[in-house]
Chain A
Amino acid sequence: MTALAASFSEMALLLLAAGAAGFASARSLHPAGRAHRPERIGWGVCLGLAFLSGSALLASLGGPHPRVCFAVLAVAGMVAGRIFAPREPGATVPPAGRPRAAHALLWIAAAAGVLLYAVRALIRPMWSIDFLAIWGLKGRTIFAAGAIPTWLSDPRLAGFSHPEYPLGLPLLFAGASGVIGKWDDHALAVLFPAFQIATLAVLFGWLRRRGAGPGVTLTATALLALFEPLYSGFLTGMADVPLSLGMLLLGAALSDAMDGTDSRALARLSVASLLASSVKNEGLFLAAAAAGVAILGSRGGGDRIRRLKVVAAAIFPAASLTVLVRAVRGAAPLRDFDFGLFAPSRLGELLARAAEAISADAHVAARSWIFPVSIAVLVIAGQKAPWAGRLLWLAAAALAVYLALPAFAVLGPEWLAETTLFRTAAALAPLAAAGIAGRLSGDGRRETGDERIKSDAGVKGAAPA
């Protein structure tokens, strides 16, 4: 076996161990049964990777070796999964109906998407500039130093690596490397196909559980798997792929919590809020947007206490993490942006910048027109489905911010739009896929007859959205 094959094998084994521990831990987040199983697999991957990140964090704070920390976290998670496993029976899955050749083809397409991304991600060590300058640099530094050196927060020494970014992904790199015992930026790329598989599992499982038919669910899953703008070699090593998973978890859990689908929806929302905000600053914004959707989407009906719980579950974990990190590491400014443009004396400059940003955004959108046009057509073709529409609102809120931010870019609107707009918007694909597929399914009856989710006795019924 070559050294590279041995490194890949070690990383794959570590991922299997982390995923298994995460799957057992995710018992506390999902009722038992087939309906929740695909999502539990996705959540299991996330929790397992979170244990790896946590192991690096604990070790950097003076704890024992990351291997010991990982074992402790994994065992603690599994014990918690057993103790807090919900007693309620899970929802039933709508019957898939007769097997169709088209479904088999869609499964093959989804598998091909996973295989193609694995090739793109693993063909060479992670290489993008942002990996070298930000995510990989921090991960390698934390791993090699066995600590989080203060110079990583020093703008003179590491300003280019954005000290204001959360450390979730670098800690994951450091944790996985710490457990294995070496830094291998080629083998670490295996983490990214794992993120993709988790995303597809959550997308598929959530759509089926919420009543979408197998055809539309599999189509959404296959199209997302084949979506190269997100699952590219360039983005491998950067935070966009894990953030896209975090945003999907957040959106799905938000919708479940608003509808009261099961007793663990609020817990999933809280954990998703924490995970998303630990990866990128947008995670905090998405958590706030989720709280906004919960408030606006419940107007005129619903249980007020439950609405408050949903809002708190969405925003509190992300906000708490942000405050805690700022208290410990200090507040680092968003160095790419000049929000002083909001000053009344600079109103004219702001308007000129806004016009420049609109032009730059339009230029990027025109170059990749097929995506916005397709999304607009599919959204219009769907029907009203609040459970799915909430995810589209979240994606729209994030997109609005991505479109507006170039106006505040220190290096100019064109620079930010050209360098980041397409890839950051691509990370919204899982949210968009779930929302659009849900709208195309409507209430889930159209494709497979009356197959709406039937909650078993003891499960709270769906509340008006």
Chain B
Amino acid sequence: MALFAPGADETAYYLSVYEFAPLPVRLNPPAVSSGWLAAVYGTGTGRPAGWSVLRDLPGGVLMEGPPAVSGDPSR
């Protein structure tokens, strides 16, 4: 699970990692491997092109990227 959450601190990251276990979580990764999902939060961030929305989340969306996406989709 790739977590794109501008301003998220370490505590929020650790809590999300714990809650998502046994799935590995990366916070604002520069690249996302194929097969990963992305939880994109924040209103000021554009949704990554080429990604499809699986469902809305409170304050964000759950997205599925195409295989081997690279680059930060929050930009």
Contact = CB atoms under 8 A, between A and B. Distances in A.
Asked whether A and B interact, the reply is yes
Interface of A: 129, 132-133, 136-137, 140-142, 144-145, 149, 151, 154, 156-158, 160-161
B57 interface: no
Max count, chain A CB within 10 A of own CB: residue among B10, B11, B21, B26: B21
B21 A144 contact: yes
B24 A157 contact: yes
Interface stretch (B12-20, B44-52, B65-73): B12-20
Secondary structure call for the B interface = helix
Give the contact-size bracket for chain B.
10 to 19
B17 A137 contact: yes
14 contacts: A129-B11, A132-B14, A133-B14, A133-B17, A133-B18, A137-B17, A141-B21, A141-B22, A144-B21, A145-B22, A149-B22, A151-B24, A154-B24, A160-B14
Q: Which are the 6 A-B pairs with shortest beta-carbon distances?
A: A145-B22, A133-B14, A141-B22, A144-B22, A140-B21, A132-B18
Contacts of A142: 22
B5 to A, nearest CB: 16
Contacts of A136: 18
B22 A129 contact: no
Contact of A137 (B11, B18, B26): B18
Max count, chain B CB within 10 A of own CB: residue among A132, A144, A151: A132
A145 B15 CA distance: 18
Given A132-B15, A140-B22, A156-B26, 6 more contacts: A132-B18, A140-B21, A141-B21, A145-B22, A149-B22, A160-B14
Nearest to A140: B21
Interface of B: 10-11, 14-15, 17-18, 21-22, 24, 26
Contacts of B10: 129
Nearest to A147: B22
B24 A158 contact: yes
A157 B26 contact: yes
B14 to A, nearest CB: 4
A133 B18 CA distance: 7
A385 B24 CA distance: 52
Contacts of A149: 22, 24
A160 B24 CA distance: 12
B17 A132 contact: yes
Contacts of B22: 140-142, 144-145, 149
A145 B20 CA distance: 12
B30 to A, nearest CB: 11
B18 A140 contact: yes
Contacts of A141: 21-22
Contacts of B26: 156-157
A141 B26 CA distance: 15
A144 B22 CA distance: 6
Contacts of B11: 129
Nearest to B14: A133
Contacts of B15: 132
A161 B17 CA distance: 10
A133 B11 CA distance: 9
Contacts of B18: 132-133, 136-137, 140
B32 to A, nearest CB: 12
B18 to A, nearest CB: 4
Contacts of B21: 137, 140-141, 144
A129 B24 CA distance: 17
Nearest to A183: B21
A141 B14 CA distance: 13
